[in-house]
A and B are shown apart, each in its own frame.
Chain A
Amino acid sequence: MSVSRFWRKIPQRYNLVGTQCTTCGRYFFPPRSLCPDCRRSGKIVDHKFTGEGTVVTYTVIRSASDQFEHTTPYVLAVVELDEGPRLTTQVACTPEEAKIGMRVKSVFRRVAADGESGTIHYGTKFVPVE
């Protein structure tokens, strides 16, 4: 991923900052600048999520793209945040631990690197809640 493309999203990726449409109250993560329900009459403001949520579905990636090949196997999941929106994320747990319905919370972790000496991408992953 290009440095500019990564930097543009740092507040969202580092702090789980999404948006909310204050017209209808709906939360968005990944953030949206246009509410799909209210469209141009929606008023969008930033919102920092608490980072707690539930695994909706998951898989264990055994064969990855070059950027992620060294981290296989890893658990990939769709997590529903308690405020409502869903996102795709890695869950830092063993393949055996992963299950649908498990409670998770966000943590700040290294996600990927552009090759041996390229940019290291940090961002949000999730870990199981005891």
Chain B
Amino acid sequence: MRDVAVIGVGCTEFGEHWGTSFRDLFVKAGALALEDAGVTGEKIDALYVGNMSAGRFVEQEHIGALIADYAGLATNHVPSTRVEAACASGGLAFRQAVIAVASGMEDIVVAAGVEKMTDVGTGASVDMLASAADREWEGFAGATFPGLYAMIANDYMHRYPLTREQLAQVAVKNHENGARNPIAQFQNRITVDTVLNSSLVADPLRLFDCSPITDGAAAVVVVPLDRAREFTDSPVRVLASAQASDTIALHDRRDISTMDATVAAGKRAFAQSGLAHKDIDMVEVHDCFTIAEICAIEDLGFCKKGEAGKLTADGVTALNGDIPVNTSGGLKACGHPVGATGIKQIYEIVSQLRGEAGARQVDAEIGMAHNVGGTGATVVVHILGA
């Protein structure tokens, strides 16, 4: 196995891109990543594209070929593969690219993620997102994606001392970070009252507990570490790449409030890298809902079960805290174009490790990305180091 490095990253602004098509979103992110890496298109050996549901959001399948074509690489006959794991599609595309390079099969590989979600109405997008859960036995009963996370939240709050205000602090912190991120969908600061006065979506989760519907794309370029200096003076090493599965339906989980796939993938990532929690300087976790960030911090082992609410309220996960969580603004404020999110997390970590994160810069040499598909049926964890 070869060591792997990231040599370039690119990301579109996240938000509502009514004037931009699915393919143009991807092309923009890809071009930014190649420009950053100093790589020309004909050098690319392979593409891996994370995308959850273009077939339903924009009625286009065969995304691998579409993207190779509009990236100008079809006539080079570059192999291009779509990777799907619901909201973990991006993280999994990155992992496939890392595996391809580590194996020695391919040298210069682009991992990308893209989703165009605003071309359909809210009711339709709620239905599409519900397909990340068990359609026949959760969706049939009327389960929505916020509804499933709301059931996690109610179970959690029944068993652990998490207050509604502490939960709101997750959103407040992530908006604070998003306000410092020029690509974020929401760059406005909010208060606990903003969250608590927003409309109920699925009790106890309110509108400001939920990540938005977003259009966006992100791309990164990976190469073998021993070739990285050909392209850049500041390569970022991939120190661990871990993935885990769990039951598709929330009702079949061993513990509703613990994502065992996060626990497993986190442990594997720490074992692969030989690192401990104190070595991690920043984390991008999958906060599709505020309760998801609470569970992620605990399931990754940054604190004991039941303590993440207090940790958040005490500012430990803020930009200037001991372990900054979601410096990008997270899914909550940066936005959540489902297939692109996992790649945007890598983009954020590389930006931070290279010291290019501007107003949200933290002091970091090692970062972790945590990307969840569905309610925890797929989890991908990466550790990157400067």
Residues of A that sit less than 8 Å from B by CB: 1, 5, 9, 13, 30, 56-69, 71, 74, 76-78, 86-90, 95, 100, 111-112, 121, 123
Question: What residues of A have a CB within 8 angstroms of the CB of B275 in the complex?
Answer: none
Q: Give the bracket for the number of chain B residues in contact with chain A.
A: 35 or more
- State which of A63, A86, A88 has its C-beta within 8 Å of the C-beta of B202: A63
Q: Count A-B contacts at CB 8 Å.
A: 104
Q: CA separation between A61 and B250, bound complex, in Å?
A: 16
Q: CA separation between A121 and B152, bound complex, in Å?
A: 27
Residues of B that sit less than 8 Å from A by CB: 122-124, 126-127, 130, 134, 136-138, 140-144, 146-147, 150-155, 158, 199-205, 249-252, 256
A–B complex contacts, Cβ < 8 Å, 24 sampled: A1-B140, A56-B256, A57-B151, A57-B152, A58-B151, A59-B147, A59-B151, A59-B204, A62-B199, A62-B201, A62-B203, A63-B144, A66-B123, A66-B126, A66-B127, A76-B142, A78-B151, A88-B143, A89-B141, A95-B203, A100-B154, A111-B140, A111-B141, A112-B142
Could you tell me the distance in whole angstroms from the C-beta of B90 to the nearest C-beta in chain A? 24
Contact B142 A111 (CB under 8 A): yes
Contact B154 A63 (CB under 8 A): no
Q: CA separation between A77 and B126, bound complex, in Å?
A: 18
| Further pairs besides A78-B251, A78-B256: 7, Cβ < 8 Å | A30-B249, A62-B203, A66-B126, A74-B142, A76-B142, A76-B151, A112-B142
Contact A76 B147 (CB under 8 A): yes
Contact B250 A88 (CB under 8 A): yes
Question: What residues of A have a CB within 8 angstroms of the CB of B200 in the complex?
Answer: 60, 62
Contact B126 A57 (CB under 8 A): no
Interface of B is mostly: helix
Contact B123 A69 (CB under 8 A): yes
Contact A76 B123 (CB under 8 A): no
Q: Enumerate the 7 nearest inter-chain pairs by beta-carbon distance, A residue then B residue, closest first.
A: A59-B150, A65-B127, A66-B123, A57-B155, A86-B251, A30-B137, A60-B203
Question: What residues of A have a CB within 8 angstroms of the CB of B251 in the complex?
Answer: 56, 78, 86-88
Contact A64 B126 (CB under 8 A): yes
